[in-house]
Amino acid sequence: MNPDNIVYITVCIGIVAFLYSSVGHAGASGYIAIMALFSMAPSAIKPTALVLNIVVACIGTWQFWRAGHFSWSFFWPFAVLSIPFAFIGGYLNLPTHIFKILVGIVLLLSAVKFFIDPKEKPDPRAPSKPYCYGIGAGLGLLSGLTGTGGGIFLTPLAILMGWAKTKTASAVSALFILVNSVSGLAGNLSATKYLPAFAWSFVVSAFVFGTVGSYFGSRKFSPVIIKRLLAVVLTIAGLKLIFTQ
């Protein structure tokens, strides 16, 4: 890869890591968009994005947990089936063009909702356990197929449905992303046996800016600010899914 491109990509990855980590996400959809814009090979994009996701999700999980926003009882029903399904999604390489466009449109509509109405809903109430299992399985499969951790879908769903407060949804999504990214990467490496060496040059940038972003998101930013940032993140992710195939 061109050394100049590596520098540009590294800077962009740092910006994405800060923005996404502030809302409990790890940035995979943003990393994928950046690497695609710089014409990286598709075979390199997916594992690289998952590695960066794991790094930033580790930091986000730790920061939001330390700040007291994590809820184990809300997390595990979504995660229990998402992990094996993320492995399956990471192993598969399916033609998902139309599906990605539909998901991208949903994310853009969610972004509009957060821009218009960023207020916190009172008295959140989690859905029944069987419902969580099914949602988690679907999100896990989707996360593996798209090379993301699934939090980009879980966070807006949890907030819009009134299942959790904003920072709880962000905290749970951070660990949800972590476990699904590890599972998805394992599935991808099982199928391809390939991880590009230059991926590690992006890790430092993601680590530094992800640390700063998750600190501000977990301790400094209000729920309204987080929802505004989440709207930006969802817009980036939605446009990526629609226009980057």
C-alpha dihedral over 139, 94, 147, 101, to 10 degrees?
Answer: -70
> For each of the chain's 245 residues, which pLDDT tens digit applies?
666 788 889 999 999 999 999 988 888 888 888 888 888 887 788 888 889 999 999 999 999 999 999 999 999 999 999 999 988 887 876 666 666 776 778 788 788 877 777 777 777 888 899 999 999 999 988 887 776 778 888 988 998 888 998 899 999 999 999 998 898 888 878 887 777 777 778 999 999 999 999 999 999 888 888 888 888 888 888 887 787 65
pLDDT of residue 34: 86
Which residues lie closer than 8 Å to 26 by C-beta, 6 or more apart?
17, 20, 52, 53, 54, 55, 56, 57, 60, 149, 151, 174, 177, 178, 181, 210
pLDDT of residue 212: 95
Q: Which amino acid, residue 61?
A: T
Q: Report the distance separating Cα 199 and Cα 196, nearest Å.
A: 6
pLDDT of residue 198: 75
CB neighbourhood size of 93 (10 A)? 14
Can you tell me whether residue 111 is helix, strand or coil? helix
Q: Report the distance separating Cα 9 and Cα 230, nearest Å.
A: 22
How many domains does one find in the chain? 1
What spatial distance separates the first Cα and last Cα of the chain, rounded to whole Å?
Answer: 21
pLDDT of residue 98: 67
Domain containing residue 70:
3-243
Using CB atoms within 10 A of its CB, is residue 197 exposed (0-12), middle (13-18) or buried (19+)?
exposed
Q: Which amino acid, residue 102?
A: L
pLDDT of residue 206: 94
pLDDT of residue 1: 62
Helix, strand, coil fractions of the chain, as percent rounded to 5: 80, 0, 20
pLDDT of residue 102: 67
